[in-house]
Amino acid sequence: MQIDWFTVGAQIVNFLVLVWLLKHFLYGPITQAMERRELRMKDRLREAELKKQQAENEEIAYQEKKEDLERQRERMLTEARAAAEEERKALERQAREEVDTRRREWLHQLEMERAAFLRQLRDRSTEQFYALAARALDDLGNADLQEQMAFGFIKRLESLQGKAKEDLAHECAAADGKLTVHSRFALSSDARRQVTAAIHRELGKSLQPEYETREQGSSGIELKAGSLTVSWGFESYLDGLEKAVEEQFSALSTLDESRAGE
């Protein structure tokens, strides 16, 4: 066992050279590469953390937006429901008003038709009644209806007493003796003579009655002086007929309403 001091020195130099070489070719580069990798990983981790945070923020924002939308949707739905309900009520109200209006119009129309019908019925009835009465009188007693009507009117005129009679005479005098006798049908000359005689007898000889025929007004004979009127006709009979027909109409309409109510 011996130590070669030249070799020892050479080996010391060799070792120091090796230390220097490895420091520059091994430890330095490897350590730096690892540090770079570590830095890069830290950067990536930080970046990932940042992105994660960003994603979480976005998630929260999205969630809030979603909730906002949900609330907005609910509010819009509620408003839409309220509006629809309001619209429904308005339409219903409008429909009811329309129905009521139409019903009123219909009832008014019905009433008018009914009135027209009754008026027409009255006119036709008057004519028919007149024709029937004339024929019945002629058949039964060979009597003239117009004369009978004139007789009825004269009896009515004669039955006036006291103040009523005086008022009538006064009105006739105020009209300068002009008075008008209306009849629905043209009176015969006999009937006119009888009536004129009765007027002269009851109200005054100076009076000059004029005879007129007219479709409207009394169904018999009517004396008109100023504002006063004396008449005889079939009104009471026709009123009875009209009343009976009206009662029949009322009964029918009551029945219809009760059926409609059911």
Sequence-ordered strand ranges (E) for 169-227: 178-183, 208-213, 221-225
Sequence-ordered strand ranges (E) for the chain: 178-183, 208-213, 221-225, 228-232
Stretch that binds other proteins, among 29-37, 91-99, 196-204, 242-250 (CB under 8 A): 29-37
Nearer CB in complex with other proteins: 20/106:
20
- Do 203 and 167 touch, CB atoms closer than 8 A? no
* 48 touches other proteins (CB under 8 A): no
Beta bridge partners of 212: 182
Token couple for 177:
């003796």
| Contact with other proteins (CB under 8 A) among 3, 141, 216, 262 | 3
Phi, psi for residue 236 in degrees, rounded to 5 = -60, -40
Pairing mode, strands 178-183 and 208-213: parallel
Beta bridge partners of 210: 180
* 11 touches other proteins (CB under 8 A): yes
Token couple for 88:
């429904």
Nearer CB in complex with other proteins: 23/178:
23
Stretch that binds other proteins, among 15-23, 83-91, 131-139, 185-193 (CB under 8 A): 15-23
* 30 touches other proteins (CB under 8 A): yes
* 27 touches other proteins (CB under 8 A): yes
- Do 179 and 138 touch, CB atoms closer than 8 A? no
* 46 touches other proteins (CB under 8 A): no
Q: How near is the Cβ of 51 to other proteins at its closest, in Å?
A: 18
- HSE, CB side, 13 Å, CA atoms: give it for residue 155: 8
Residues 163-202 as x/- pattern, contact with other proteins by CB under 8 A: ----------------------------------------
Q: How near is the Cβ of 38 to other proteins at its closest, in Å?
A: 9
Q: How many chain residues are in contact with other proteins, going by CB under 8 A?
A: 33
Stretch that binds other proteins, among 36-44, 49-57, 104-112, 177-185 (CB under 8 A): 36-44
142 secondary structure, DSSP code:
-
* 8 touches other proteins (CB under 8 A): yes
Report CA 204 to chain centroid distance, whole Å.
Answer: 63
Q: Give the residues lining the site for other proteins (CB under 8 A).
A: 1-12, 14-23, 25-27, 29-31, 33-34, 36-37, 40
